[in-house]
Structure 1
Amino acid sequence: MNQKELQRLVEDISINYFHKPFLHQVKINKRMRTTGGRYHLDDHHIEINQHFLAKKYHADLIGIIKHELCHYHLHLAGHGYRHRDADFKILLQRVGGSRYAPDIGLRQKQNKKYFYICKNCKAIYPRVRKLDTKRFVCGKCHGKLVLKEKNEIF
């Protein structure tokens, strides 16, 4: 599915389920990993995760579009558009949108490369990125952190 087809699909869903036109732009986001879509409050465009454009995820894509259109129409109408708002929950249920984007295997577990150990209480802090040990201390006892090799700890 390309940009024009996605735009047309969103406009059709907006008219059919919300009975209001979608007057802004839909964009495809290739970098999304943990979410299916995103509504932008500032310029009202909607971004859709590129991975959900595959034919096998079409039903999930429809649910994601309905979810983002709930944000869109409620925000423009001045009603509660956040996930926690009753207006949002009621409209989402009425149109049959998805509450959460399904996990299709895009979430990658980050490998912890760096292991810091507290000199005082021996608490272990696995991290993906390096820490500045002059700036950060142990969260439990405020002791000094030392970088260790994985095989030194386990």
Structure 2
Amino acid sequence: MDNEALQRWVERVSTEAFGLAFKHKATFNARLRTTGGRYFTKSHHIEINPHQLASFGVEETEKIIKHELCHYHLHLQGRGYQHRDQEFKELLSQVGGSRYCQSLPGTATERRRLPYRYMLICKACGQQYKRKRKTDPRKYACGRCRGKLLLKELDSAE
């Protein structure tokens, strides 16, 4: 899909879901990594992450478009268009837009959700500290009793 097809898609979704015309520019931006799209308050343009379309399909991408159109239409009407505003939340719910986009494979957001692979265990009191990354137990002490720590590698996700 190219930018012209995206432009037509955004215009169609705007008319069908909001009953209002989208009169600005919608483009793909492949440099977006941690977000599905963004709305620019100065130019009123919308950018959509093409990786979301490739990874999760048309349905999820349309929810992202609706999310960005909520920002667009509320901002142009002078109403609360930010994520924290109640008007934004209500309109997003009415049109069926997504509050958050799914994490793309290989991104930092996805890496944060990796299971714990290591555990530091205090030799004195038994306090346990789960870790996603391997750490040197000699550099740290127990936060509870200041005892020495032992590093244990976990077999499966806990």
**TM-score under structure 1 normalisation?**
0.69
Q: Which residue of 1 aligns with 2:79?
A: 79
Identity %: 50
Q: Structure 1 97/44 Cα, relative in aligned 2: closer, same or farther at 3 Å?
A: same
Within a 5 Å distance, the mapping from 1:5-24 to structure 2 comes to 5-24=5-24
Moved more, 3-12 or 98-107: 98-107
Q: Match of 2:6, SS?
A: helix
The structural deviation recorded for 1:103 is 1.1
| 5+ long unaligned stretches in structure 1 | 111-149
Contact kept in structure 2, 1:33 and 1:106, CA below 8 Å = no
1:12-59 superposed Cα distances (whole Å, 9 cap, x missing partner): 000000000000001111111110000000100001002023284211
After superposition, the Cα gap between the structure-2 partners of 1:55 and 1:101, relative to the gap in structure 1 and judged at 3 Å, is closer
Task: Rate the CA distance shift 1:79–1:34 in 2: closer, same or farther, 3 A.
Answer: same
Instruction: Name the SS of the counterpart of 1:71 in structure 2.
Output: helix
Distance 1:102 1:16 in 2: 24
Residue ranges of structure 2 left out of the alignment (5+ in a row):
113-135, 141-158
**Distance verdict in 2 for CA 1:55–1:76, change over 3 Å:** same
The 5 A counterparts of 1:45-124 are: 45-54=45-54, 56-108=56-108, 109=111
Is the alpha carbon distance of 1:48 and 1:106 closer, same or farther for their aligned partners in structure 2, counting shifts above 3 Å?
farther
Partner of 1:120 in structure 2? none
1:7 partner SS? helix
Q: Which residue is equivalent to 2:131?
A: none
CA distance in 2, matches of 1:62, 1:27: 14
State the Cα RMSD in Å: 2.0
Between Structure 1 and Structure 2, how many residues are aligned? Answer: 115
Moved over 4 A (4+): none
Letter in 2 for 1:73: H
The Cα offsets for residues 51-88 of structure 1, whole Å up to 9 and x where unpaired, read as: 02328421110100000000000000000000010100
Distance 2:53 2:39 in 1: 17
- Give the TM-score taking structure 2 as reference length: 0.67
